Amino acid sequence: MNLILDLGNTRCKIAVVEGKTILESGNYARLSPKEIARFHERHPGIEGVIVSSVVNYSRELIDYLATLFPTCIELNASTPIPLTNLYATPETLGYDRIAAVVGAHSLYPGMNALVIDAGTAITYDLITASGTYPGGNISPGLDTRFRALHKFTNRLPLLERPASGPVLVGSKTQEAIQAGVVHGIVFEMDGFIRSIGLEYPDLQVVLTGGDAKFFAGKLKSSIFVDPVLNLIGLNSILVHNAK
């Protein structure tokens, strides 16, 4: 049983994981030592903790975790992972992308898999059946595209995602923006899935991230939605390093 800490720009995720099962999780604007202690009290069998962060955090946090758990791992570019990383600049590779591909490899061992993480940015990351990570692609996310159209043009309004649809061809500016942004992303996703699948047969596609549910029903391709893929991947990295 392990504790997973995923510290993002605006939210902090914490989860207790055993194998590939999430026993308990939480999502906080700020994660305090008291909250960590509560998880520890409810799950006294926790043996290790891993911290993945895109923001700076205090050494006091690591020192505190080290007093609670026998194994404490800070994920960084040099942390050993249970796959072969062929990325040319591993020091620039986001920890969320690392965790996602490790999670996919854990769930679909011996299979080609494509992870699509739909959030502020949309990332496409491939893991091969042999356990090799050759790399992936990054493009602007849903809300990022809406904001960019508003910011970098003079008269286009700032819009949000439509509640349904959108139409294929907009008959007014609001519809045109929403259709262009949403369908553009859908066509992009389906296009990458189709093209990568031609080179990597029997491709398993896993959609994760904050906008995963929004796009899941809009894709023509066969996919799996897994909102906790990163947590599963982080746990696999922790287990790999605790051996």
Q: Is the dihedral of CA 57, 63, 64, 70 positive or negative?
A: positive
Q: Which residues of 196-228 are buried (b: 16+ CB within 10 A; e: fewer)?
A: bbeebeebbbbbbbebbebbeeebebebebbeb
Q: Which residue has the tokens 């896993």?
A: 206
**Is residue 96 among the annotated active site residues?**
yes
Q: Which long-range contacts (CB under 8 A, 24 or more apart) does 196-199 make?
A: 196/114, 196/124, 196/126, 197/114
Measured between alpha carbons, how far is 93 from 96 in angstroms, rounded to an integer? Answer: 9
6, 63, 96, 202: the catalytic one is 96
Q: How many CA atoms lie within 13 A of 56 on its CB side?
A: 1
For the annotated catalytic residues, the residue numbers are 96
